[in-house]
């Protein structure tokens, strides 16, 4: 086969970086994006990413690209999401994209470049290429894993009250979660460890809240059968 007949495709790595943020007064699940300064899709929002360079792996590429907009130390978890290969996904040239899912704890407030920002996943503006699809896939992956793993460790601060954790779960899952039930389920699965600390009462008074931490801060499967239960079954 001649060199002219060998297909040459551009391969890029992209990051679906999620964080629960409380900028608007209540926690919202957000994704890191930046506004494109040039065509194609000038002015639209895009996920951080870029082409895989000679001599680097796809994971090394996404870490390099994300670090131009966010301190990598801020991410508590990253995993490969999926590969996107629709021939027309890039109008300029044939480009295959491999997306990674990354999670940032809610108490991290890393500085961003002026062109970057955190977009609420429930109200995404116009997105470039197929990046809105990638965001949807990343959110679906995260929500599925919250049901059978301890992945919430990557969204939560190192120490938290159950009220804080409830708000994080509610924002991440997209529906209300009850704190007492959440504590029961996570305790039964061995995910929570009491720190012995108490969070001071607020202005309204009341009993100081117990402070917890996750027993492990790396991904573990804690209930392999949870995904087989119907939505809303708390057991």
**Residue pLDDT, tens place only, 174-204:** 999 999 999 999 999 999 999 999 977 655 5
163-190 burial code (b ≥16 CB/10 A, e <16) = ebbbbbbbbbbeeebebeebbebbeebe
CATH code for the part of the protein at 149-228:
1.10.10.10
* Average pLDDT for 4-28: 85
Tell me yes or no: is domain 7-147 CATH 3.60.10.10: no
Cβ-contact 15, 65 below 8 angstroms: yes
Enumerate the H helices of 48-207 as residue ranges.
58-67, 131-148, 162-173, 179-188
How confident is the model at residue 7, as a pLDDT? Answer: 65
* 232: pLDDT strictly greater than 50: yes
Which of the 8 DSSP states describes residue 159? S
* 124: pLDDT strictly greater than 70: yes
For the chain, the structural domain boundaries read 7-147, 149-228
Cβ-contact 14, 99 below 8 angstroms: yes
Pick from 105, 143, 109, 121: nearest CA to 45:
121
Chain centre distance of CA 126: 19
pTM of the model: 0.91
State pLDDT tens for residues 33-62.
Answer: 999 999 999 999 999 999 999 999 999 999
Cα distance between residue 20 and residue 55, in whole Å: 35
Cα distance between residue 201 and residue 178, in whole Å: 20
State pLDDT tens for residues 142-159.
Answer: 999 999 999 999 999 999
């Amino acid at each position: 086969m001649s060199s002219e007949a060998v297909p040459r495709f551009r391969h890029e790595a992209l990051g679906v970086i999620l964080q629960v943020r409380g900028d608007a007064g209540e926690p919202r699940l957000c994704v890191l994006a930046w506004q494109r300064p040039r065509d194609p899709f000038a002015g639209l929002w895009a996920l951080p990413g870029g082409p895989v360079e000679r001599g680097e792996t796809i994971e090394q590429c996404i870490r390099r690209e994300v670090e131009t907009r966010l301190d990598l130390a801020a991410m508590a978890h990253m995993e490969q999401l999926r590969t996107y290969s629709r021939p027309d996904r890039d109008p300029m040239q044939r480009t295959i994209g491999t997306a990674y899912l990354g999670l940032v704890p809610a108490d991290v407030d890393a500085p961003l470049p002026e062109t970057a920002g955190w977009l609420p996943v429930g109200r995404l503006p116009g997105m470039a290429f197929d990046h809105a699809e990638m965001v949807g896939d990343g959110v679906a992956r995260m929500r599925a894993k919250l049901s059978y793993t301890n992945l919430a460790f990557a969204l939560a601060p190192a120490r938290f009250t159950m009220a804080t954790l409830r708000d994080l779960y509610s924002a991440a899952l997209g529906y209300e979660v009850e704190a007492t039930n959440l504590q029961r389920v996570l305790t039964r699965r061995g995910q929570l460890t009491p720190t012995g600390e108490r969070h001071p009462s607020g202005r309204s008074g009341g009993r100081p809240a117990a402070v917890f931490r996750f027993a492990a801060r790396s991904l573990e499967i804690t209930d392999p059968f949870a995904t087989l239960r119907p939505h809303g079954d708390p057991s």
